[in-house]
Amino acid sequence: MAFSALHPDAGRVDATLSDLGCGLAWDLVHKVRPRIALRCRECGHGVHAKVSPRGLRYFAHDPGRPADCAWLSESLEHHQLKLALATAVRETGWKAELEVTGPDGAWRADVLATSPDGSRRIAWEAQVSPITDDDIRYRTRRYEADDVEVCWVSPSWPPWIGIVPSIRVTEDAGEVAVIDSTADFYFKIGSWGMTRRLALVEFIRRVQDETVVFHEVLPRYRRIRVSATSSSRRRAIWASHASIDAEARHEGMRRRQEAWKQQQQEKAEARRKAEEQQREIEREAERARLQEQRAEQQRQWAIQAERERRRREEEERRRQAAEQVAERERLRQERIEADASLGWHAEISETRQHELRDKVTEYVWLRERTRTIFFVAAGPEAEYAFGTAVYVRNRLFGVLRPSPPSLHRLPRGVVVFALNAREAALLVGTGQVSAEQVVSFDFPDAEQLSLI
Ligand SMILES: [Zn+2]
């Protein structure tokens, strides 16, 4: 079915217009005898005028129509939408032509609206069947190339809404209204809100007046509020200049706020960095101070250690010197005592010496009941005070005739044997041995050996 056809004399006839767009009455084409040779504008096959049960005027193909005529596939819904668009355009005072083909067939407008002064043309496309985004973009460009504005109209939920200039309409109680996508910008909430419902004729009027234009929504605002709880994404919508300005102002404000926030963050970051740097400087200074402190302590320890080393060295040197002095003194003393003992020993003969040993042996026998006795010969032995050591059972028991100046060398408690009482008194008289310690015999005084 179609709303237009070719009349053999009048040319293009439009069933939606009372004068068919060419000054002819409907009755002159509808049910007239003989039949008028009307032709399909698409395929050239014969068509005839018809009226639907609801009073809709249109043209239908005669029997034997070609199967590939594009208008065959157009549904009643499509046709009704086209008619609604044409009717709305005509209500605004603009001219509306149906099924208009562009130069070289570049496009075919369902409804081509033309302004009264003929300066503007807007194609209203009732797109009922599915079409890809690429196809609809391509077809939009074809219109634009011929300086024809276009708006695609769908009664369903097409995926291309907002991709090309487009609207979604609904019919309610005979009135067609736009429900998607004209929107208003609400500055306070910074969001677009979909216009619930706008009469198609009012929408067309605004598009023609350019009080609403197809507007590409700024990226931040593409979630369009549909109701208090729902929203829908749109890349572009129809909007008033005031709303577009409000969106731009809001975007400007948002950017200023973001810039300010960014600036604050940068300042805070700079402050944090400066503080961190200051802390690092302080830490560095503290490390240097501790290092210096340790170095100073080590220097002090080194100084102390050196002093201590010198002190010990000095002490050792003194100790060695003192030892040497003591050793020299000891040797000198020993020499003196050894010299002295020579005279002391010279006082008795070897015979007397043997007799004395016999007496000691007897003394030991009486006391210790042993004859295991051993004499260490008198000589320059300072250890026994230059006397003869008496060992009984391998223990130092006593000393025979120790030299008086050397008595201090005897171990305490050893028995000291003397020749007689006079010699015993002489030994005790030195104060180095006690009277109880001394055992004397009754030998006569030492011979004057020097006289022998
Ligand atoms: Zn046809």
pLDDT at 428: 94
Above 50 in pLDDT, residue 452?
Answer: no
Please tell me the distance between residue 40's alpha carbon and the centre of ligand 1 in angstroms: 4
* pLDDT tens, position by position, 350-400: 888 899 999 999 999 999 898 888 888 756 678 888 889 999 988 899 999
Cα of 316 vs centre of ligand 1, distance in Å, is: 135
Q: Distance, CA 106 to ligand 1 centroid (Å)?
A: 19
Domain boundaries, the chain: 1-73, 347-451
pLDDT of residue 450: 41
> Rounded mean pLDDT of 238-259?
96
* Mean pLDDT for the chain overall: 90
Residue 65 Cα to ligand 1 middle (Å)? 7
The Cα–Cα gap between 401 and 343 comes to 12
**What pLDDT sits at residue 342?**
84
Q: How far is the CA of 9 from the centre of ligand 1 (A)?
A: 19
| Sign of the alpha-carbon torsion through 306, 310, 313, 319 | negative
Distance 66 CA to ligand 1 centre (A): 7
What is the mean pLDDT of the segment spanning 422-446? 90
| Token couple for 11 | 């040319």
Task: Tell me the CA–centroid distance for residue 161 and ligand 1, in Å.
Answer: 30
C-alpha 44 to ligand 1 mean position (Å): 6
Q: What is the DSSP secondary structure assignment for residue 33, as one 8-state letter?
A: S
**pLDDT grade for 113, boundaries at 50, 70 and 90:** very high
What's the full length of the chain, in residues?
452
Q: Is the pTM of this model over 0.75?
A: no
Cα 39 to middle of ligand 1, angstroms: 8
State the distance from the centre of ligand 1 to the C-alpha of 179, rounded, in angstroms. Answer: 33
pLDDT single digits (tens) 136-192: 999 999 999 999 999 999 988 888 999 999 999 998 777 899 998 899 999 999 999
Amino acid 449: pLDDT: 45
Phi, psi of 47 (to 5 degrees): -130, 165
CA angle 270, 273, 275 (to 5 degrees): 110
Residue 130 CA to ligand 1 centre (angstroms): 21
**Cα–Cα distance measured from residue 97 to residue 123, given in angstroms and rounded to the nearest whole number:** 10
Interval between CA 26 and ligand 1 midpoint (Å): 20
Query: Parallel, antiparallel, or unpaired for β 415-418 and 395-400?
Result: parallel
How many A from CA of 6 to the centre of ligand 1? Answer: 11
| Cα(302) to centroid(ligand 1), Å | 117
Given this model, what pLDDT does residue 378 score? 58
